[in-house]
A and B are shown apart, each in its own frame.
Chain A
Amino acid sequence: MANDRQYSYRKYVLGGAAVLLILVYLCRLFMLQLMSDDFKRNADSNAFLKRIQFPARGSISDRTGKLLVYNRPSYDITVVLSEMKSMTEQDTLDLCKSLGITREWFDRRMLEIKDRRRNPGYSPYTQQLFMTQLSAEEFSNFQERIFRFPAFDVQKRNIRQYSYANAAHILGDVGEVGPADIEADDYYQSGDYIGKLGVERSYETQLRGEKGVEILLRDARGRIKGSYQEGKFDRAPVPGKNLTLSIDLELQQLGERLMKGKLGSIVAIEPSTGEILCMVSSPTYDPRIMVGRQRGANNLRLSADPLKPLLNRAIMGQYPPGSTFKTSQALTFLEEGIITPSTAYSCSGGFHFGRLKVGCHGHASPLPLIPAIGTSCNGYFCWGLYYMFNNRKKYATTQQAMTTWKDYMVSMGFGYKLGVDLPGEKRGMIPNADYYDKYLRSWNALTVISISIGQGEVNLTPLQIANLGATIANRGYYITPHVVREVQGEPLDTLYTARHYTKVSARNYEYVVEGMRRAVTGGTCSSANNPWYEVCGKTGTAQNRGHDHSAFMGFAPKDNPKIAVAVYVENGGWGATYGVPIGALIMEKYINGKLSEASEEKASSFENRTIYYGSSQR
């Protein structure tokens, strides 16, 4: 009994040790269960096989309902590397055989998958893309044997299919996401597709839909054990939205025909809505070569082409607008009160001031505004700018006059991106006072006189020229041009419904419309005249280091215009040579719905006319 009492304190030592032990274990449990999410994530990646269900990408059709782009099923093969351990050499060889690949290709692909620089999303526990875009025939061979390769799985997805060889620049294409895309948006995983160009890119979020996911349970040996909680956490894919373009496929096809063998662009806009009816950039390419596993090679070949077929010249080409720009000058001078419709300036073969000479062609002199536009008199607009910039009653300095001028130009949509719903639009160039202050030691109206005839520092995109036509057709406003008319189940962005008014009043637009009508009835654009409707137009012949560029900007009919068009043919010479006839054919096709026999003949002859471009000229 002595021992009892002597050592009974030890019950506290032992009890205390037990309490301490349990406390230590609780702390450990606290750390494991509450301090970190890693184990949870780990457990999920262990047990859940997240099979992604790819939504169908939205289809694209033209304004008349013709289906332009749709989907075709294709099969991707994925692999979970951590599950490959059980694979024997014989299995690997069988796999290669049934997929029609070599053993070397297999090994190389495995290395690529594991390379975290090329594949930042790599994890041995998640599905990695092994092979993409197998056709149904290629896949069927593999499907029979797939049960033997538990590490491999198949995901069905859709690839793009194009009905027509046209409108490549507008439609764009889809390709595998790059590391930057994955970085920028969590939605994407390696191997996903993303719009690369055209509306595929600018309407990516609408077209792609939402990926769905099916959560399956997978045991430690990789066997599927049914769906997790009867699919309570599965998400069905949300299909992408269909797009209706404002493009008229037939008009687009005609435009592409007419531009064959030439560099340049045609843009046609419906003035009342800002909808782009056709947008041709030449040279173009067949969008059908940009799908499937050949995309990479074709893309490389096109980007290496010196004529730059991938460039959408309609929005990325920045050209001197030449005489088409004179309309904007007339509007500015009228609104600022520099001229009235009856103001006449003399033109003796051009604009002469001291040693400065801007040439013109033969016409009566002096001329008031409307015939000046009709004959495209250089002298008239040079004088206009001269008197504007030197008007010290209105403007304290030349700089101030320049700033006013620039504000007019910007209000007409020049000098900045218009905001078309296509990627890569360029802003063009409208110089301002700061620009000249910076680059010229001293300058005055005479130094910059060529901007009044759309030369010098002024650059516009064909889209901006077409938009100028639409603005004049609307007598003073434009709606930001756009190629998508309707996104299924979604209202159009207000950017594409709001009117932008210029700084010029509608009254003054009427004089310019008259001038452009005069150019068609008895001036530079007479070949565009036709018995069916009243065309208004303006040629442009832009001086260039090489052969002049041929340009045309016009709209029809004069009242309630249905179409405004800009044509720009690089090195095409006079505006009347290519610009006017091409513009006339586009308008005729759109307004009449077809070409007359004579016009069809003309179109064929244009289709076969090729301008040869030396590599030094571009």
Chain B
Amino acid sequence: MAAVKDKGKGILASLDWVTIVLYIALLGLGWMSVCGATYDFEQGGNFFDFDTRSGMQIVWIATSFLLGMLILTIDERLFDTFSYVLYAAFLVLLFATPFLARDIKGSLSWLKVGPFSIQPAEFAKFATALCVSKYMGSTDYDISRWWNFLVSCLLIVVPMGLIVMQRETGSALVYTAFFLMLYREGMPGCILFAGISAVLYFVVGVRFDQDALWGIQAISLGQFLVMTMILLFTVGMMRLYTEPLAPVLRVFGYGVGLTLSALLFSKYVIPFDVAWVQLGVCLVTIGYLFYLAVKQNLARYAYIGLFAVGSLALYYSADYALNNVLKDYQQTRVRVLLGMIDDPKDAGYNVIQAKIAIGSGGLKGKGFLNGTQTKLKYVPEQETDFIFCTVGEEEGFLGCAVVLGLFLALILRLIHLAERQPYASGRIYGYSVMSIFLFHVMINVGMVLGLAPVIGIPLPFFSYGGSSLWGFTILLFIFLRIDAGRDRFVHN
């Protein structure tokens, strides 16, 4: 018994209190925002009444604390021991969920447990993170071995696919955050880059497909931008991964020169789609790259060529698939996801109202409970996905800066903690946690600000709801528990 006591004392001493303080600060501000978002001008409100969402959120916060403390008392080696079992159990649960769940607004992700509804997808994240970190943390793991890398990817993609089956695309997309962790663990940067490029091609290409460039109706802005990106990325990779400068300058010079002259010709002489010229430039560049690969016997040129081919193929197939393969309602869903139409019924309403709410906050905001847009229900989902609107409206620019600053501090702190882990598995888990938080903040706040597609995922510690709050708490506190045990390695 004495040994156990000793260990508990050790935990308090080695616990990272900075993260705890950030966690509590974010929860406090989050609760205020939920109060603001659900306050009713007419009925006033007792924030501690459990019939209200602010009251219920107190329950979630209190239980989260309990949950966190419980996790801190668990020996961290247990996480390692049970991670595969946990992962397997969650896969089964995720698989079963769509069959058990009731349809809530088109989503099949909620399970009814007694009086509460829980969302298994929110808890699957920590299980996946534990599993991936155990697998990748083993001493014989080498990310540069393709089957090792493939298994890591599969561990991530399988739950992602199961969540897509629950029609929770947003929650599923969160799993792409693990690639940030993979990048830290040595995944070639170009894979991350290629992935980001693919997203960019798709988003930009579809988003701006119907817009005209420079008033020339013949040119599709989306296509022009994608072609320009492919050309510039190719040139960039040549510069980064190959030695001689001359071919780089040659491709860059011809590419930019031809595109610009075609653009001017199209503007002032005969309007035509400049994308054809750009496509020609890309194809010639690809040929040139393969020629260089053969001539100089350098595989890198070929890889860059393949990148360009892949880019073109991806763009055209995505474009084709969207316009020809997908049914109308599916196209609408994609466009909604990209924020081209926010609500099939009332185009642009949600994001416009979110911007109005935030923009009306000004420097200092309207003051706690004085926000009108959120409370009068102009902003959709104002206590869950669009909770940041309440911060913007009531606390103004200063309040937003404080909240974003706290999130940034948390993320940087998590990187710091991850880097000090003695085991690779601890570090991998830490980066997974950091990546998930970063992704949530990036997409959620970006969506509210009109910078990211409208993907319904919660803002950690702010959005109302037990599942997400418990999920984030478990994710964070397991890492804090792992971190608290870091010295054991030294003592042993």
Contacts and interface: CB of A to CB of B under 8 A. Distances in A.
A595 interface: no
B186 A29 contact: no
A3 B408 CA distance: 26
A13 B187 CA distance: 14
B378 A47 contact: yes
List the 9 closest A-B pairs by CB distance, nearest first.
A39-B359, A43-B360, A47-B372, A219-B376, A32-B359, A220-B377, A33-B397, A40-B360, A22-B408
A40 B411 contact: no
Interface in A14-51: 14-15, 18-19, 21-22, 24-26, 28-30, 32-34, 36, 38-40, 42-44, 46-48
A8 interface: yes
Interface stretch (B45-53, B66-74, B398-406): B398-406
Contact of A36 (B359, B408, B424, B449): B359
A602 B41 CA distance: 74
Interface string B407-435: 11001100100110000100100010010
A235 to B, nearest CB: 19
A1 B425 CA distance: 11
Contacts of A217: 41, 372, 376
Nearest to B404: A22
Contact of B359 (A13, A33, A218, A221): A33
B361 A33 contact: yes
11 contacts: A14-B431, A21-B441, A24-B451, A29-B404, A32-B359, A32-B392, A39-B359, A40-B360, A217-B376, A219-B378, A225-B41
Do most interface residues of chain B lie in helix, strand or loop, or is the interface mixed?
Answer: helix
A33 B396 contact: yes
A6 interface: yes
Contacts of A220: 376-378
A218 B42 CA distance: 11
B183 interface: yes
Given A29-B392, A34-B397, A40 B376 contact: no
B472 to A, nearest CB: 17
Interface string B423-467: 010010001001000100110011001110000000000000000
Interface in B41-67: 41-42
A10 interface: yes
B378 A14 contact: no
Contact of A7 (B186, B372, B405): B186
A18 B360 contact: no
B377 A18 contact: no
Contacts of A26: 400-401, 404
Contacts of A218: 376
A497 B247 CA distance: 94
B167 interface: no
Interface of A: 1, 3-4, 6-8, 10-11, 13-15, 18-19, 21-22, 24-26, 28-30, 32-34, 36, 38-40, 42-44, 46-48, 217-221, 225-226, 228-229
Contacts of B434: 14
B362 interface: yes
Interface stretch (B110-118, B154-162, B350-358): B350-358
Contacts of A39: 355-356, 358-360
A22 B405 contact: yes
A117 B401 CA distance: 44
Nearest to A12: B415
B41 A3 contact: no
Interface in B320-379: 353, 355-363, 370, 372-373, 376-378
Nearest to A33: B397
A15 B430 CA distance: 13
Interface residues of B, number: 52
B363 A34 contact: yes
A607 B442 CA distance: 90
A548 B185 CA distance: 113
Given A10-B183, A18-B408, A48 B355 contact: no
B372 A43 contact: yes
Contacts of A11: 184, 415, 418-419
B392 A33 contact: yes
B143 A3 contact: yes
B173 interface: no
Contacts of B376: 46-47, 217-220, 225
A558 to B, nearest CB: 74
A218 B143 CA distance: 58
B342 to A, nearest CB: 15
B329 to A, nearest CB: 23
B180 interface: yes
Contact of A40 (B353, B362, B392, B408): B362
B397 to A, nearest CB: 5
A38 B392 CA distance: 15
Nearest to A1: B424
A43 B412 contact: no
B363 A7 contact: no
Nearest to A41: B360
A48 B373 CA distance: 10
Contact of A219 (B185, B377, B411, B438): B377
Given A34-B362, A217-B376, A25 B451 contact: yes
A4 B137 CA distance: 11
B41 A226 contact: yes
Contacts of B358: 29, 32-33, 39
B451 A32 contact: no
Nearest to B357: A43
Nearest to A43: B360
Contacts of B450: 28
B394 to A, nearest CB: 12
Nearest to B187: A7
Given A3-B185, A4-B424, A18-B438, A30 B397 contact: yes
A84 to B, nearest CB: 15
Given A29-B401, A36-B359, 8 more contacts: A7-B185, A14-B434, A15-B415, A22-B404, A25-B446, A47-B372, A217-B41, A220-B376
A43 B180 contact: no
Interface string B31-46: 0000000001110000
Nearest to A9: B184
A14 B183 CA distance: 9
A583 B272 CA distance: 88
A43 B359 CA distance: 9
B441 to A, nearest CB: 8
A226 B363 CA distance: 27
Contacts of B183: 10, 13-14
Residue of A42, A43, A48, A217 with most chain B CB atoms under a 10 A cut-off? A43
B184 A22 contact: no
